[in-house]
Chain A
Amino acid sequence: LAKTTQPISMDSYEGQEVNITCSHNNIATNDYITWYQQFPSQGPRFIIQGYKTKVTNEVASLFIPADRKSSTLSLPRVSLSDTAVYYCLVGDLVNYGQNFVFGPGTRLSVLP
C-alpha cells in the first residue's frame, strides 16, 4: 500500500488560495490519487482524482508532478465553509477495498 503523508493542520483566511501537499513516495504505476473532504458529523465526500499532470473541476485543482511522488490539492479563494478535514488517498482503483487507507488527514481552518 502506498503510504501518504500530509500536514496535520493548516490555517487560512477567507479569499485566499489554499494548497495542501501530500507525499506518496512509494506510489505504484497503477495507483491513482484521490482527495476527500469531511465536515464534522458527516462522511467524507469525493473532491477530485487524478493520475498525472493537472486535473481541475468546479471545486478544486490537483497538481501531480512527473515523478508522482507527491500531489497538491489547490482550493481557490476559500470560504469559511471550506473548514474541514482533507484526506489524500493513493491506490489502484481496480481493488478498492484492498488498497485505500485513510490517514489522519489535514484539518483546514478558514478564518474570517
Chain B
Amino acid sequence: DVKVTQSSRYLVKRTGEKVFLECVQDMDHENMFWYRQDPGLGLRLIYFSYDVKMKEKGDIPEGYSVSREKKERFSLILESASTNQTSMYLCASTQENTRDSYGYTFGSGTRLTVV
C-alpha cells in the first residue's frame, strides 16, 4: 500500500523554537506538498516541490521554509515558531504530471501546538 509518512502525529513546541516537520513517501512521486489546515479555512498550500532541490511558494509561505534533498523526503521548517502557527500540517505527494495520476496521497497529519 502506498504511503506518505509524517514523522510526528502530535508536537508541542515553544515560541521561538526552530521546528522541523518531516515527510517521507515511498511511491517515487515527483511532486510533494505541505498544507496547513485550520477550522473554517480549509487546506492552504504552504510550499510544494516538483523535483529534488526545487521548491515553489504556495499561498501562505511566510514564516516557513522547506527542504528537499532527496526525492522521497520533504521537510517543512518553521524558522521561529509562533502561536499563530499552531495548526494541523498535512504533507502530500503526487506522481509525475500526468492525466493518469490518481491525485494527492496525503499523510495522516501533524498536529502542532506552539505555546
Contact = CB atoms under 8 A, between A and B. Distances in A.
Nearest to B39: A104
Interface residues of B, number: 32
A45 B42 contact: no
A45 B70 CA distance: 25
B105 interface: yes
A71 interface: no
A65 interface: no
Given A96-B31, A97-B50, A97-B56, A46 B99 contact: no
A44 B104 contact: yes
Interface stretch (B61-69, B76-84, B90-98): B90-98
A105 B40 CA distance: 10
A106 to B, nearest CB: 12
Interface string B87-115: 01011101001110111111111010000
A32 B99 contact: yes
Interface string B20-31: 000000000001
Interface string A45-71: 110010000000000000000000000
B58 A97 contact: yes
B98 A36 contact: no
Contacts of B106: 42-45
A43 to B, nearest CB: 3
Contacts of A36: 103-104
B58 A105 contact: no
A81 interface: no
A29 interface: no
A97 B59 CA distance: 10
Nearest to A93: B99
A41 B110 CA distance: 9
Contact of A42 (B35, B44, B108): B108
B108 A43 contact: yes
| 8 smallest beta-carbon distances between A and B, as pairs | A43-B106, A97-B48, A102-B43, A46-B103, A94-B97, A43-B90, A104-B42, A93-B99
